[in-house]
């Protein structure tokens, strides 16, 4: 009887368990899925939140630019990339672009501008020859736009280096004469003199700390800026370092020489000013003076002849 009762109890238990499982199986599956989602949701939502915190430039703009530059690099001649890279270095790499990225943006701007010009030409219903000429002109304008931007940046940066070089050399000379070594004097100049020249000295000092010799670091400083006065200064420092000449005397001589060169350039510009002023005088000022002086006389002559 005991075995029979156990068998009946076990059978009833299994039957009830199967019935309850059939009734609540859907709820059990939903509960398991919810538990799984609860374990995964914090990580996913955290990842989405972190991704949304990244700026639009880092999320979309930079990856697109990187892919475009990789595509452009395959079809751009090596000499063109080297030439563009040199121009970017001279300009101080204003946008942080490599040569391939710059060329990609350049071609993209040219294509967009050509498309815009074509749309306006189509709306104006110009002839096919005029449309072709306008599209070519728009493409060339977009292509040359970034080169002009780079040229303006290069000219401004080189002018800032030329302007700040005498003052920087004075500070460098005073620091060396006060007992500091050349590297320590460079560090003092970097701390006290803002501007592109201080940035270039900081880069050279960093290269020397990373293992470059002073000669190589200073030579690279002159090559990546293409400024005549700075190249002369770098050459004098390298020569003094090789010959064992006192650097303080060389620095003072270079500072005086650069100030003389700057004074000569200012005098040259002053001598050119009258010649440059002649054209505006003839075109704009002299006609106005003639109208003021001869206008009443001409009116009197006209009245007398009536």
Which has more confidence, 182 or 53?
Answer: 182
Indicate if the pLDDT at residue 294 is higher than 60. yes
Whole-angstrom distance, CA of residue 219 vs CA of residue 238: 8
Residue 222: count of CB within 10 angstroms of its CB: 20
pLDDT given for residue 24 in this prediction = 57
Whole-angstrom distance, CA of residue 180 vs CA of residue 151: 38
Whole-angstrom distance, CA of residue 42 vs CA of residue 29: 21
Indicate if the pLDDT at residue 33 is higher than 80. no
CA-CA-CA-CA torsion for 62, 65, 71, 72, nearest 10 degrees? -140
Instruction: Tell me the whole-structure pTM to 2 decimals.
Output: 0.65
Structure tokens at 32: 């398991």
pLDDT, one tens digit per residue, over 222-240 is 888 888 888 888 888 888 8
pLDDT given for residue 61 in this prediction = 63
Question: Which residue in 195, 196, 190 sits closest to 92, CA to CA?
Answer: 196
pLDDT given for residue 55 in this prediction = 64
> CB-side exposure of 69: number of CA atoms within 13 Å?
15
The CA angle 121-123-124, to the nearest 5 degrees, is: 65
Across the chain, mean pLDDT equals 79
pLDDT, one tens digit per residue, over 36-74 is 766 665 544 445 555 556 665 666 666 777 777 777 777
Residue 28 pLDDT class (50, 70, 90 cuts)? low
Mean pLDDT is lowest, of 40-49, 52-61, 212-221, 241-250, for 40-49
pLDDT, one tens digit per residue, over 83-113 is 888 888 888 888 778 888 888 888 888 888 8
pLDDT given for residue 201 in this prediction = 87
Q: What is the DSSP letter of 99?
A: H
């Amino acid at each position: 009887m005991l075995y029979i009762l156990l068998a009946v109890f076990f059978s009833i238990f299994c039957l009830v368990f199967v019935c309850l499982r059939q009734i609540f199986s859907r709820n059990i599956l939903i509960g398991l899925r919810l538990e799984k989602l609860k374990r995964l949701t914090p990580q996913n939502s955290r990842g989405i939140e972190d991704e949304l915190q990244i700026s639009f430039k880092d999320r979309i703009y930079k990856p697109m630019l990187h892919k475009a530059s990789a595509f452009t690099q395959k079809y751009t001649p090596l000499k063109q990339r080297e030439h563009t890279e040199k121009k970017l270095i001279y300009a101080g790499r204003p946008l942080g672009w490599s040569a391939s990225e710059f060329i990609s943006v350049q071609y993209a701007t040219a294509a967009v501008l050509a498309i815009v010009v074509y749309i306006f030409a189509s709306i104006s219903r110009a002839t096919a020859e005029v449309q072709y000429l306008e599209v070519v002109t728009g493409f060339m304008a977009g292509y040359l736009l970034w080169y002009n931007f780079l040229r303006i940046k290069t000219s401004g940066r080189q002018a800032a280096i030329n302007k700040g070089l005498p003052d920087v050399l004075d500070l460098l000379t005073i620091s060396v004469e006060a007992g500091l070594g050349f590297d320590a004097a460079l560090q003092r100049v970097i701390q006290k003199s803002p501007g592109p020249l201080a940035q270039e000295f900081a880069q050279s000092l960093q290269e020397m700390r990373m293992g470059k010799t002073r000669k190589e670091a200073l030579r690279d400083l002159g090559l990546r800026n293409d400024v005549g006065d700075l190249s002369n200064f770098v050459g004098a420092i390298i020569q003094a370092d090789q010959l064992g000449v006192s650097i303080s005397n060389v620095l003072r001589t270079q500072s005086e020489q650069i100030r003389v060169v700057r004074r000569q350039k200012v005098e040259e510009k002053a001598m050119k000013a009258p010649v440059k002023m002649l054209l505006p005088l003839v075109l704009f000022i002299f006609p106005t003076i003639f109208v003021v002086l001869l206008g009443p006389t001409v009116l009197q002559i006209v009245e007398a002849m009536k």
